[in-house]
Amino acid sequence: MLRKEKLEASPLGAAPEVNALLDRLGLGALDGDGVSAFAGRNNNWAGRTSTGARVFVKRLDGDREESLIRFRRALDLQAILRARPSADLRCPPLLGADQEARLLVFEWLEHARAGNVMATEGEFEAPTAYQAGRAVGALHQLPGAADTTPHPLPPVWALRAIPLTMFSAARIAELRYWALLQQDRPLVGALESLRESESRVSHRPCHGDLRLDQFLLDEAGLYVLDWEEFRMADPARDVGAFAGEWLHHAIRKVNADVDKVYGPGTRLSHELIVERGGAEIAGVRPLIAEFWRGYLDSGAPADADLAERSTSYAGWHLLDRLLATAGTQTRLRAVDLAAAGVGRTALLNPGHFTETLGLAAPLPA
């Protein structure tokens, strides 16, 4: 397992349950030296044990009841794949688990590269995007997931008003972003319609939290990880999330190398943001198109409206990513507002945006 940012692992002395589980599994123990952690919402430890085993241990933190639900979703996916292995959908091997401690132990793919790292370095290529499409297509053809509860996003309840606890914890840029969303009645209506549409389409087993850093690539092939949101849902969620990740990646590059390209001290005007944004989106379109081709080639069931719904979810995914970014900033930048405009366009006019994204390939008969 791999993340973009390597961190110092939490002391194992404060988490004795980790080595206790590794010992029960006959894998030896991590001694703290050479143990790494990777960025994410949960504590994790990666390294070689005293027996030489390469392990990645994830502890699902947070509310006990909610973490148990996430734990069971992850095990559900593993059980399905054990019963029905897929040549296209591969996950890091699960070596063991402890429900009480909320621990999952995977084989550590020490030399694998994460999709977000490859994207940043310009090394996420068309064959990998095609493999990702086939993997997601294989996922959508698995037997049903145990969890059939509705996905919580987009949070349409917050588009009317956010609770005081959220308001108190939010930064200024985040509050400004929420205000922009809440005051945009056509956008609110589009998001509410998107949520409502999910009740009318056939649900398939879905990842539910697909991002570029959920893909790992090594010499053995492509892996998909982090299955804590695995559930029955509209398959457009996963397809749209992949496209939305590339929209997010493209918009982030708008601010890159501005001084180098246009000269020191250049300020990005609205016109320049639109120009660079359009060029960057055009640059990632072939990768989204290859993903879509791989998805269709997998034989996944694709209804006539899947491309449009996926485009809408891509727009939401971009807004969601920008909302997370706003939580780390003191103000909204011009490029953030431009990105919000791209997400809005995808949501309000998905039929006109599918080709721009690369989702307009013909559906199988």
Cβ pair 347, 185 in contact under 8 A: no
Q: Which residue has the tokens 């929420």?
A: 178
Q: Residue 195, class by beta-carbon neighbours within 10 Å (0-12 exposed, 13-18 middle, 19+ buried)?
A: middle
What is the predicted pLDDT for the residue at 1? 40
How far is it, in rounded angstroms, from Cα 124 to Cα 67?
32
Q: How far is CA 173 from CA 163, 179, 225, 308, 344, in A?
A: 17, 10, 31, 30, 18
Q: Which one-letter DSSP state was computed for residue 4?
A: S
How far is it, in rounded angstroms, from Cα 232 to Cα 239?
14
How far is it, in rounded angstroms, from Cα 241 to Cα 156?
18
What is the predicted pLDDT for the residue at 9? 66
What is the predicted pLDDT for the residue at 142? 97
pLDDT for 276 beyond 90: no
What is the predicted pLDDT for the residue at 33? 78
Output Rg (C-alpha) for the chain, integer angstroms.
21
Mean pLDDT of 134-140: 98
236's tokens: 């457009």
Mean pLDDT of 100-129: 96
- Which of the two residues, 273 and 325, has the higher pLDDT score? 325
- Residue 365's pLDDT band (cuts 50, 70, 90): very low
How far is it, in rounded angstroms, from Cα 132 to Cα 359?
15
Mean pLDDT of 160-188: 91
Spatial CA neighbour of 48 closest among 32, 69, 62: 32
61's tokens: 């933190």
- Residue 149 Ramachandran class (φ > 0 left, ψ -120 to 50 alpha, else beta): beta
Q: Amino acid letter at 88?
A: D
Mean pLDDT of 247-256: 85
Query: What's the whole-model pTM score?
Result: 0.92
Spatial CA neighbour of 287 closest among 73, 64, 127: 127
Mean pLDDT of 155-175: 90
The rounded Cα 186 to chain-centroid distance in angstroms is: 26
pLDDT for 117 beyond 60: yes
Cβ pair 167, 175 in contact under 8 A: yes
The rounded Cα 315 to chain-centroid distance in angstroms is: 14
Spatial CA neighbour of 319 closest among 165, 199, 188, 208: 188
pLDDT for 34 beyond 50: yes
Cβ pair 26, 48 in contact under 8 A: no
Mean pLDDT of 111-135: 96
pLDDT for 337 beyond 60: yes
Domains of the chain: 6-107 (3.30.200), 149-202+234-357 (no CATH)
- Residue 48 Ramachandran class (φ > 0 left, ψ -120 to 50 alpha, else beta): beta
What is the predicted pLDDT for the residue at 5? 55
- Which of the two residues, 323 and 285, has the higher pLDDT score? 285
pLDDT for 290 beyond 60: yes
Q: Which residue has the tokens 């502890």?
A: 59
How far is it, in rounded angstroms, from Cα 361 to Cα 304?
12
- Residue 34 Ramachandran class (φ > 0 left, ψ -120 to 50 alpha, else beta): left
In this structure, of 53-67, 203-217, 294-308, 331-345, the range with the lowest mean pLDDT score is 331-345
- Residue 332's pLDDT band (cuts 50, 70, 90): confident
Q: What percent of the chain has pLDDT over 70?
A: 92
